[in-house]
Amino acid sequence: MTATSAGGGTREQGRSEYGVALFLGALGLLVVVSALLLPESRITRGPVGPAAVPIVVGGLLVVTSVFLAVDVRRGGRGEPEGGEDVDLTARSDWRTVGLLAAAFVANALLIESLGWVISGAVLFWGSAFALGSRHYVRDLLIAVGLSVGSFYLFALGLGIVLPPGILRGIL
């Protein structure tokens, strides 16, 4: 049956939207239960423990699922994706997907030997190239700036040292 409802969708669309609400609710409950089962940490400082954020996020997921179910019950329907400026009839651009995958694989293979700064620059530059940018020098400068900036952001801001690789002692 594809009887159109007042909201412009079909009955099947309503059921699928209930499915999304059910999935969000189940995911929220899973997050809350998992957070409540976290062991107490001896390194916790202050009143906020490791379970605080997951409990809030899980609770918000449950609340969102309830609001979505109520909206669907009242006749609200999601608007079909218009595709913005994307031609939905066009074929997939496998060249772009392949180039992006190659940039990610190169990053994974080079990160230990060359370090994050160089492998990250390869990742950022390769991604820009794969997505169509042809400003090679500008993209390289931006890629190096992003990789050095993220290296120091992790090191100084988060206390996480990314692999320096061949630049050990320089960074």
**Contact predicate 121/145, CB 8 Å:** no
By mean pLDDT, which of 31-40, 42-51, 59-68 is the weakest? 42-51
The alpha carbon torsion through 148, 152, 154, 160 (nearest 10 deg) reads: 110
Q: For residue 77, what pLDDT is reported?
A: 78
Q: What is the pLDDT of residues 67-102, one digit of tens each?
A: 999 999 998 877 766 666 777 688 888 999 999 999
Q: Could you tell me which of 136, 165, 135, 131 has the C-alpha nearest to residue 151? A: 165
- In this structure, are residues 5 and 75 in contact, taking their beta carbons and an 8 Å threshold? yes
pTM of the full predicted structure?
0.55
**Range name among 32-46, 65-79, 155-169 with the lowest pLDDT average:** 32-46
Close Cβ partners of 21 (under 8 Å, ≥ 6 residues apart): 65, 66, 68, 69, 72
Q: How far is CA 81 from CA 8, 84, 86, 88, 123, in A?
A: 14, 8, 10, 10, 30
At CB < 8 A and 24+ separation, what contacts does 35-42 make?
none
Structure tokens at 164: 């320096």
